[in-house]
Structure 1
Amino acid sequence: MRGFFIFVLWFSYVVNAFAGSSSNLLKTYKKDVFYTVKGLKANKNSLLTFGGLLGFSFFLDKGTRTYVLNHQNTTLKNTADFTNYFGSGYILFPAVTALGTWGFLNNNYKLLEASVTSFESGLTAGLLTIGIKIAVGRKRPYGTDNPFRFKPFKKDTLFHSFPSGHTVMAWSMITPYAVYYKQPLLYLIPLSVNFARVYKNKHWLSDTVMSSGIGLAVGYFFSKRHLNKKIVLLPSKNNLMVGVRF
């Protein structure tokens, strides 16, 4: 999660750069959060289904870990090492920044909007994940063979297994691009991070299931609101401002 803090610092820089328009930006962000909460409440059946899937995954944790540890090989290890980068803040944050900048410089506002939404989604999901990690205090699989070891509010990252920060970042920041461009195949990227975190014995299966739900929900609802309201970053004379395109 260290890369996440680089993300936060960059966010602070952007907000300051907005000068007089920063209040509009923060107001828009607040509405995005409320829209997401409202959207989740309106999809109770989906939440119940996800809750059942998450609960079931807890009982698969130990067996999955044992199976993975007994089926290690060079090809899968190299694959996991590679796909693990797609959940790293050191990769995602600069990549999204570069894509957004490219979109702005080339008047590709669809790419700019998707990147801004990805940025905002990653910030929100990341902050939420940090809070849950600390509050839950689940021990990582490389430190125990018991998936039900919890020590809430421990500072030691050994007890920050639930949920997976890498997986949350991948889902929350890739989902906006999948929604904006209607490309479900992009979800293979965060799924590969799910695989990497379990294969590398950094997280239990249920950690990644929870992370997928958080990241997908935040990324999806933020994207839907921005697309419905056509919220964009508009260039002004001296800076940028949040606006609504008709």
Structure 2
Amino acid sequence: MLLNYRILFILFCAFSISKSVYSQTAIPSNVQDTLSIWQLAKYDAKAAVLGVGHAYSRPLYWDGKDWTTFGIVAGGTALLYFVDDETSSYFRRQRDRLPRPLREFGDRFGSPQVAYGLTSSVYLFGLFTKNQKVRETGVLMISSATAAGFLQTVLKASVGRSRPQNGQGKFDFKPFSGQAGWRSFPSGHTILAFTAAYSIAKQFDNPWVKAGIYAVGLISPLSRVWDGAHYLTDVALSMAISIATVDAIDNYLNKNNLYPDGRKKPGISWNLHLGLGRVGIVGSF
């Protein structure tokens, strides 16, 4: 509950920084370098809150390709749903075979304290050193974590899916029950951990570096499955939410050229390939 109020407080403060929250005028890089820490913080806060609003509004502007991607994600999730109980049992059996440091890292990295601590540290380092690229990364991480985090808070309460460790099975739901055992979807650890990892990975060109960062970001989602806190579909769809949110906000920052020296890097591009006797999904990054 405390986290819910924190997210709402962040949103309220961000919307209060300016009389106009519907547009952001880009400031050239050489001018940003001359601004005070406070002026940069206000500029970044406004960029962050507008990024959050942009992410929430994107479904209203989806085109055919976006709806195709949505259909692929929905279809893939539906297929995984059929084997949720089986995959959960399998992952939970592997738990004790995994190294304790790996299990502890997975649990802690996706926690709100660590995730928001990392996000804040990245942004504050960029702010006080006036490193524009690091500031932009921090803004992307903060706004993405806020947008996706608030969404997962609402969905957890409204969906009310039973956790695997309850032993009730994948079809058990208690919407708006408020009970911790019925907050399986989506996975907050997954959203916070993978949102941070995906945002950071966007700043690198090397695909091996990207893959390494993605691998670190996957530890928390997998840890939630082998701990019995979430089903595989919970973490898979949570990752899709993270990717969509980060991409939407990153596109907003780039399209409006709010950080002129920032490299404009695409996220993971998912493409559906159809042919005679074959069908496939290819992700490129």
State if a TM-score over 0.5 links the two structures. yes
Cα separation, 2, equivalents of 1:228 and 1:144: 47
Does 2:236 correspond to 1:209?
yes
Structure 1 residue 74, shift from structure 2 partner: 5.0
Does 2:184 correspond to 1:184?
no
**Matched position secondary structure for 1:231:** coil
Q: Larger radius of gyration, structure 1 or 2?
A: 2
Whether the 8 Å contact between 1:140 and 1:202 is mirrored in structure 2 is yes
**Residue type at the aligned position of 2:117:** P
Whether the 8 Å contact between 1:3 and 1:88 is mirrored in structure 2 is no
* Aligned CA distance change for structure 1 residues 36 and 95 (closer, same or farther; 3 Å): farther
Structure 1 residue 219, shift from structure 2 partner: 0.9
**Structure 1: tracts of 5 or more residues without a match:** 234-246
Cα separation, 2, equivalents of 1:2 and 1:84: 19
Q: Show CA shifts across 1:24-55 (max 9, x none).
A: 52555433432465357642222111111111
**Residue type at the aligned position of 1:222:** I
Whether the 8 Å contact between 1:133 and 1:161 is mirrored in structure 2 is yes
* Aligned CA distance change for structure 1 residues 48 and 89 (closer, same or farther; 3 Å): same
More off after superposition, 35-44 vs 156-165: 35-44
* Aligned CA distance change for structure 1 residues 167 and 5 (closer, same or farther; 3 Å): farther
**Structure 2: tracts of 5 or more residues without a match:** 24-45, 261-285
**Residue type at the aligned position of 2:94:** H
More off after superposition, 163-172 vs 173-182: 173-182
Instruction: Identify which of 77, 98, 115 aligns with 2:121.
Output: 98
1:81 corresponds to which residue?
104
Q: Show CA shifts across 1:150-176 (max 9, x none).
A: 111111121111111111112223322
Structure 1 residue 15, shift from structure 2 partner: 5.5
Query: TM-score, normalised on structure 2?
Result: 0.72
Does 2:134 correspond to 1:111?
yes
Whether the 8 Å contact between 2:51 and 2:143 is mirrored in structure 1 is no
**Matched position secondary structure for 1:180:** coil
Structure 1 residue 57, shift from structure 2 partner: 1.2
- CA RMSD of the aligned region, Å? 2.6
Cα separation, 1, equivalents of 2:106 and 2:60: 31
* Aligned CA distance change for structure 1 residues 202 and 76 (closer, same or farther; 3 Å): farther
Cα separation, 2, equivalents of 1:170 and 1:221: 18
Does 2:70 correspond to 1:47?
yes
Cα separation, 2, equivalents of 1:101 and 1:145: 44
Paired residues, what number?
A: 232
* Aligned CA distance change for structure 1 residues 163 and 27 (closer, same or farther; 3 Å): closer
Structure scoring higher RCO (CA < 8 A, sep ≥ 6) equals 1
* Aligned CA distance change for structure 1 residues 88 and 39 (closer, same or farther; 3 Å): farther
1:144 corresponds to which residue?
167
2:145 corresponds to which residue?
122
- Identity, % of aligned positions: 22
* Aligned CA distance change for structure 1 residues 156 and 45 (closer, same or farther; 3 Å): same
Cα separation, 2, equivalents of 1:77 and 1:2: 29
Whether the 8 Å contact between 1:80 and 1:195 is mirrored in structure 2 is no
**Matched position secondary structure for 1:152:** coil
**Residue type at the aligned position of 1:227:** N
* Aligned CA distance change for structure 1 residues 145 and 156 (closer, same or farther; 3 Å): closer
Cα separation, 2, equivalents of 1:187 and 1:37: 29
Does 2:225 correspond to 1:198?
yes
1:227 corresponds to which residue?
254
* Aligned CA distance change for structure 1 residues 4 and 77 (closer, same or farther; 3 Å): farther
Structure with greater helix percent:
1
Query: TM-score, normalised on structure 1?
Result: 0.82
1:239 corresponds to which residue?
none
